[in-house]
A and B are shown apart, each in its own frame.
Chain A
Amino acid sequence: MGVLVLQGVSSLVSASILFLFASGLTLVFGVTRILNIAHGTFYMLTGYFAFTIAQALAGSTLKFWVALAIAPLAVAALGALVEVLLLRRIYGRDMLLQVLLTTALIFVFADLIRFFWGLLQKSVPFPVQLMGGVSLGGITFPIYYSLVIGVSLAVGLGLWYALYRTRWGILVRATAQDREMSSALGVDERRLFTLVFVLSCWLAGMAGVLASPILSVSLGMDMEAIIEGFAVIVVGGLGSMPGAMLSALLMGFVKGFGILVLPQFAMAFIFALMAVVLIVRPWGLLGRPES
Chain B
Amino acid sequence: MKLGVRFTWIGLLAALFLMLAACAPGVAPGPTPAAVGPPIKIASINSTTGVLAFSGYRGHHGATMAVEEINKAGGVLGRPLELTIMDDKTDPAEGVKLFREAVAAGAIASIGPFASAVAPAVSEAAKELKTPAFFPGAWSRFIIEEAGHRYTFRIATNDRVFAEATAEELAKKPFTRYCTIAWDFAYGRDITATTMAALKKKKPAVAVLPGCEFWVKFGDSEFTPYITAIMGKEPEVVMFGGLVAEGVRAFIKQANRFGLFAKAHAVHPSLGMPLNNWGMAKEDVIEGMLTGAGYPYPPVDTPVNKQFFDQFRSRFNDFPMETSVESYIAVKTLAKAIEKAGTVDKEKIIDALEGMTVELLTGPKVTIRPFDHQSTQGWWMGELTWNDQYGQPAMKKAHYVAGDPYLPSQEEIQRLRAAKK
Contacts and interface: CB of A to CB of B under 8 A. Distances in A.
Contacts of B257: 126, 133, 142, 144
20 contacts: A6-B232, A7-B229, A9-B228, A11-B225, A104-B18, A104-B22, A111-B22, A120-B279, A140-B259, A142-B257, A215-B221, A215-B222, A216-B246, A259-B214, A259-B225, A263-B214, A263-B215, A265-B215, A267-B184, A267-B220
A132 to B, nearest CB: 10
B229 A121 contact: no
B219 interface: yes
Nearest to A119: B54
Interface string A263-277: 111110000000000
Interface residues of A, number: 53
Nearest to B249: A216
Contacts of A11: 225
A79 interface: no
B215 A89 contact: no
B231 interface: yes
B23 A107 contact: yes
B245 to A, nearest CB: 8
A263 B221 contact: no
Interface in B177-235: 184, 211-217, 219-222, 224-229, 231-232
B213 A263 contact: yes
Interface of B: 8, 11, 15, 18-19, 22-23, 50-51, 53-54, 57, 184, 211-217, 219-222, 224-229, 231-232, 246, 249-250, 253-254, 257-259, 278-279, 281
B219 A220 contact: yes
A163 B212 CA distance: 43
A260 B229 contact: yes
B15 A3 contact: no
Contacts of A119: 53-54, 57
A143 to B, nearest CB: 10
A175 interface: no
A181 interface: no
Contacts of B250: 214-216
Given A133-B259, A141-B258, A224-B220, A104 B19 contact: yes
A6 B219 contact: no
Nearest to A211: B222
A89 B5 CA distance: 12
Given A140-B259, A263-B214, A216 B253 contact: yes
Contacts of B22: 104, 107-108, 111
A120 B216 contact: no
A108 B21 CA distance: 10
Given A89-B8, A263-B215, A267-B217, A121 B228 contact: no
Contacts of A14: 222, 224-225
Given A3-B232, A7-B229, A120 B54 contact: yes
Interface of A: 2-3, 6-7, 9-11, 13-14, 17, 89, 100-101, 103-104, 107-108, 111, 118-123, 126, 133, 137, 139-142, 144-145, 211, 214-216, 218-221, 223-224, 255-256, 259-261, 263-267
A218 B8 contact: no
- Among A9, A14, A123, the most chain B Cβ lie within 10 Å of the Cβ of A123
Given A120-B278, A121-B246, A144-B257, A264 B213 contact: yes
A264 B53 contact: no
A218 B246 contact: yes
Contacts of A13: 224
A126 B227 CA distance: 18
B268 to A, nearest CB: 17
Contact of A214 (B15, B222, B278): B222
A14 B228 CA distance: 12
- Among B221, B222, B225, the most chain A Cβ lie within 10 Å of the Cβ of B225
A103 B22 CA distance: 11
- Among A9, A211, A215, A256, the most chain B Cβ lie within 10 Å of the Cβ of A215
A219 B53 contact: yes
Contacts of B221: 215-216, 221, 224
Contacts of A101: 15
A214 B259 CA distance: 14
B295 to A, nearest CB: 18
A118 B53 CA distance: 10
Contacts of A224: 219-221
B212 A214 contact: no
Contacts of A126: 257
B229 to A, nearest CB: 6
A220 B213 contact: no
B279 A140 contact: no
A69 B54 CA distance: 30
A289 B216 CA distance: 34
Contacts of B259: 133, 140
